[in-house]
Amino acid sequence: MPVRHGLLALLGEGPSHGYQLKVDFEARTGGSWTLNIGQVYTTLARLERDGLVIEVDDPEPDPDRRTVAVTDEGRKVAEEWFATPVEVGTPPRDELTIKVLLALAAPDLDLAEVLQQQRRVTLESLQELTRRKRALDPDTDLAALLQIDAEVLRIEAQARWLDQVEQRLAVGRRPATS
């Protein structure tokens, strides 16, 4: 569960409280993941129950918030998380792949046009991401930039796969649309 490990990792940098953790988590992940404040408190409660975080005195006490710190055990869990590569796993069933595979043998269907329509939409998504990227400053918006890079690469893979389908079938010899 990345939220649990994400909060432990942030607490590794120093004690904090629920709302601040939510703000930091979102800022540090480039705004790619919005946390529900209720989810943050529930997660913190579980971490506290498991002895991974502990309530500490706040230098500026505020009755509305509880400041927590990571325990040695919690620090160990965060370290293990960083040290363990994320499983690449099997991708979820992808509608595009399925659609193209079925289109291969579908009667009365212009496969080249199916591929080109998808390519257009894919490229327009990439254009939208690139517009967002253009507005970012590589020095100050690193997290957001890296997050967009990841998304660009994911969508780019789709565009390249469409090209590859076309190359394998050599349907590119015929115009895709009239």
CA distance 39 to 29: 17
Query: CB under 8 A: which stretch of 4-12, 14-22, 72-80, 156-164 binds other proteins?
Result: 156-164
Q: Among the residues of the chain, which ranges form H helices?
A: 2-11, 18-28, 37-49, 72-83, 95-103, 111-134, 142-169
Encoded tokens for 170? 């050599």
- If binding means CB under 8 A, how many residues of this protein chain bind other proteins? 38
175 touching other proteins, by CB under 8 A: yes
99 touching other proteins, by CB under 8 A: no
DSSP type of residue 173: G
As measured in angstroms, the least distance from the Cβ of 18 to other proteins is 20
As measured in angstroms, the least distance from the Cβ of 2 to other proteins is 14
Q: With H, G, I as helix, E, B as strand and everything else as coil, classify residue 16.
A: strand
CA distance 34 to 23: 9
Contacts of 53 (CB under 8 A, 6+ apart): 7, 8, 11, 44, 47, 68, 69, 70, 71, 74
CA distance 24 to 20: 6
User: Which C-beta is closer to other proteins: that of 2 or that of 31?
Assistant: 31
32 touching other proteins, by CB under 8 A: yes
128 touching other proteins, by CB under 8 A: yes
Query: CB under 8 A: which stretch of 6-14, 62-70, 75-83, 160-168 binds other proteins?
Result: 160-168
Site for other proteins in 108-127 (CB under 8 A): 116, 119-127
User: Which C-beta is closer to other proteins: that of 5 or that of 119?
Assistant: 119
User: Which C-beta is closer to other proteins: that of 65 or that of 132?
Assistant: 132
- Interface residues with other proteins (CB under 8 A) are 26, 30-32, 34, 116, 119-132, 134, 144, 148, 152-153, 155-156, 159-160, 163, 166-167, 172-177
